C-alpha cells in the first residue's frame, strides 16, 4: 500500500490514477495532518509525500518518522528544489527526491525500487 500526500487536487488525483493503472494499491490524502488523523503512516509500504504543504509538511513528517524504529521508504516531491531542501530530505532519510514536474515513469521506478529494497534497509536519495 502506497500512501500519497499532496495538497494539490489535480496532482494527487493524477498520481493516484498512475498507481491505479499500474495496479499499485494507493490511498491518497490532501495533507500530512489528514493522513496522521486517519491512519498510522507506518502501516504503508511506501510514502509519497509532497514537501511543501500547509500545516505539517512532508519534510516534517519524514523527520518525525526518522526517529521511529520502523524503516519505511519515503519518496519526496517538490516543485521548488533548493540545496537546503535536498540536504534536509537526505539527512532525514528520504529514499528519493523528485522535482515537479516529473515523468510518471520516474515516480513508478522510484516506488518500485523503494518497495523492492524496503526489507534490505535501503536508505538515501536515489
24-39 per-position pLDDT tens digit: 999 999 999 999 999 9
Integer CA distances (angstroms), 15 to 31, 65, 74, 94, in order: 15, 23, 15, 19
Contact (CB, 8 A) for 17 and 6: no
Q: What domains appear along the chain, each with residue ranges and CATH number? A: 2-120 (3.40.50.2300)
Whether the pLDDT of residue 64 is over 80: the answer is yes
**Mean of the per-residue pLDDT values for the chain?**
90
DSSP-derived letter for residue 11 is: H
Greater pLDDT, 38 or 121: 38
Cβ neighbours around 96 below 10 Å, total: 21
| pLDDT of amino acid 84 | 93
What mean pLDDT comes out for the span 86-90?
Answer: 93
Contact (CB, 8 A) for 55 and 33: yes
| pLDDT of amino acid 71 | 78
Does the predicted TM-score (pTM) go above 0.85? yes
DSSP-derived letter for residue 45 is: S
Whether the pLDDT of residue 112 is over 90: the answer is yes
Whether the pLDDT of residue 8 is over 50: the answer is yes
> What is Dmax (Cα atoms) for the chain?
35
Q: Which three cell numbers stand for residue 125?
A: 536519495
Whether the pLDDT of residue 89 is over 50: the answer is yes
> At which residue does the C-alpha cell 499499485 appear?
24
Amino acid at each position: 500500500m502506497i500512501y500519497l500526500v499532496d495538497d494539490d487536487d489535480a496532482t494527487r488525483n493524477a498520481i493516484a490514477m498512475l498507481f491505479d493503472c499500474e495496479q499499485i494499491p494507493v490511498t491518497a490524502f490532501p495533507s500530512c495532518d489528514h493522513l496522521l488523523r486517519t491512519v498510522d503512516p507506518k502501516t504503508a509500504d511506501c510514502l509519497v509525500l509532497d514537501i511543501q504543504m500547509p500545516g505539517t509538511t512532508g519534510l516534517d513528517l519524514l523527520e518525525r518518522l526518522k526517529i521511529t524504529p520502523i524503516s519505511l521508504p519515503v519518496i519526496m516531491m517538490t516543485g521548488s528544489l533548493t540545496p537546503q531542501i535536498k540536504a534536509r530530505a537526505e539527512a532525514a532519510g528520504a529514499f528519493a527526491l523528485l522535482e515537479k514536474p516529473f515523468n510518471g515513469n520516474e515516480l513508478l521506478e522510484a516506488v518500485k525500487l523503494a518497495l523492492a529494497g524496503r526489507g534490505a534497509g535501503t536508505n538515501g536519495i536515489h
